[in-house]
Amino acid sequence: MNQLLMTVAKRLGLGLFTLFIISMVIFLAVEMLPGDIATEILGQMATPEAVAAIRQELGLDQPMVSRYFDWLTGLLTGDLGQSLATGQPVLDLLDDRLINTLYLAGTAALISVPLALGLGVIAALYRNTLVDRAVSMFTLSAISMPEFFIAYVLILFISVQLGWIPSMSKVDADQSLFERLQLTILPAITLTFVTCAHMMRMTRAAIINLLSSPYIEMARLKGLGPWRVVVHHTLPNAWAPIVNVIVMNLAYLITGVVVVEVVFVYPGLGQLMVDSVAKRDLPVVQAASMIFAATYILLNLIADVVSIVSNPRLLHPK
C-alpha cells in the first residue's frame, strides 16, 4: 500500500509539473494570436492612441512575464480574473458551460462504453468470422473519419432529411431532462463513433488473450455456454486493460468535444473557448484551456492508478 501511495504521489507530482509547463505553453500560444481585444473592441479603423488607451486600461501594456505570473498567481488562488469582452468574472462564464460539457461527455460515455463492451464481446466470441470482420470494419471506419464529417453526415440524414432532431443543440438549464437529452443526442452519437473503436478493439483483444487460459478450458469442460464463459469468467479478468482504455477515452470525451460543440452550436466549454479566441478574450481562453489540460492529466492519472491496482506487477517494472 505504501508503495502504491508513493507511486500515486510521484505521478501526481509529475502531473502538476506537466500542468505548469502546459500553462506556459497556453499563455505563449494565446499571446501569439494576431490582434487583441483592444482592436476587437474599437475596430480596424481605431487610432493607435485609442488602442493604446484601451490596452493600458485592460493591463495589456504590461510585460508578458509580469502578466503571466499575475495570471498564474490568480490561478493558484482560484481567481481566474475577468472577461475582457464582457467584464464578468471568468468563473461565472465557465460555470454553466463546464456543466454542459460534462453532461455531453457523460451522455456519450453512457452510450459508447456499453456499446463498445458489447461489440467487443461479440467480436471475441465470433472471432475470424463475418460478424467479427463486420464489427471491426464498422468501428475502424468510424474512427478513421474526423468528428466534423460524422457530425455533418448525421445532421444531413437525421436533422435535414428525416427531421427527427434539431441540428443545433441549444440546451438550456430551464429545459426538461427529455428536451435536454433530445438536443444532446446527436453530438453524443458523434463522440460515440469516435471513441467506440478503441474500447471495442481492446475488449476483443483482452478476451481473446484469456480464452486459451486453463481455467477457461475447465469452465468449458464443465459444460458452460460460450456467453457465460465470457461474461462470468473471462471479462472480469480482462478488466485491467479495458478499464484503462475506457478512462483514456473518457478523457478524450471531455477534452475532445471542441469540434463537436462548434458544429452543433452546443453551449459548452469548447464552444466558449472558440468564441473567446475569435474575440481575443485571453483570460477565458486561458482558463478553458487549463481546465481541459487539468482534466486530461487527472484522468490519465486515474487510468495509471486503475492499471496498477488491477495489475500490481506494474509497481515493479523491470
More confident residue, 220 or 108: 108
pLDDT at 316 over 60: no
Q: What percent of the chain has pLDDT over 70?
A: 83
Q: How far apart are CA 20 and CA 249, in angstroms?
A: 23
Q: In this predicted structure, what is the pLDDT of residue 44?
A: 61
Which DSSP category does 165 fall into? S
Task: Enter the pTM of the model.
Answer: 0.78
Most confident listed range (27-36, 85-94, 113-122): 113-122
Kindly give the residue spans of alpha helices, DSSP state H, lying in 34-176: 37-42, 48-58, 64-76, 90-125, 130-144, 147-154
Task: Measure CA 86 to chain center.
Answer: 27
pLDDT score recorded for residue 35: 64
Judge whether residue 46 has pLDDT over 70.
no
pLDDT of residue 66: 78
At 60, the pLDDT band (50, 70, 90 cuts) reads low
What pLDDT, on the 0 to 100 scale, is given for residue 47?
A: 65
What the chain holds in terms of domains, given with CATH numbers, is 2-76 (no CATH), 98-267 (1.10.3720.10)
Average pLDDT, the chain: 78
Q: Lowest mean pLDDT: which of 221-225, 275-279, 285-289, 308-312?
A: 308-312
In percent, the amount of the chain with pLDDT more than 90 equals 0
Confidence of residue 41 (pLDDT cuts 50, 70, 90): low
Q: What pLDDT sits at residue 45?
A: 64
Residue 104 C-alpha cell reads as 455531453
Pull the grid cell for residue 40: 476587437
pLDDT tens across 203-259, in order? 888 777 777 777 777 777 677 777 777 777 677 777 777 777 888 788 877 777 888
Query: Which of 244, 45, 207 has the alpha carbon at shortest distance from 124?
Result: 207
Q: Which three cell numbers stand for residue 128?
A: 475470424
CB 186 within 8 A of CB 264: yes
Which tens digits make up the pLDDT trace of 171-204?
Answer: 776 777 777 777 888 888 888 888 888 888 888 8
Q: For position 100, what pLDDT does the model report?
A: 85
| 318: confidence class by pLDDT, cuts 50, 70, 90 | low
Q: Which amino acid is at 87?
A: G
Residue 239, classed as helix, strand or coil, is helix
Rounded Cα distance, 148 and 257, in Å: 11
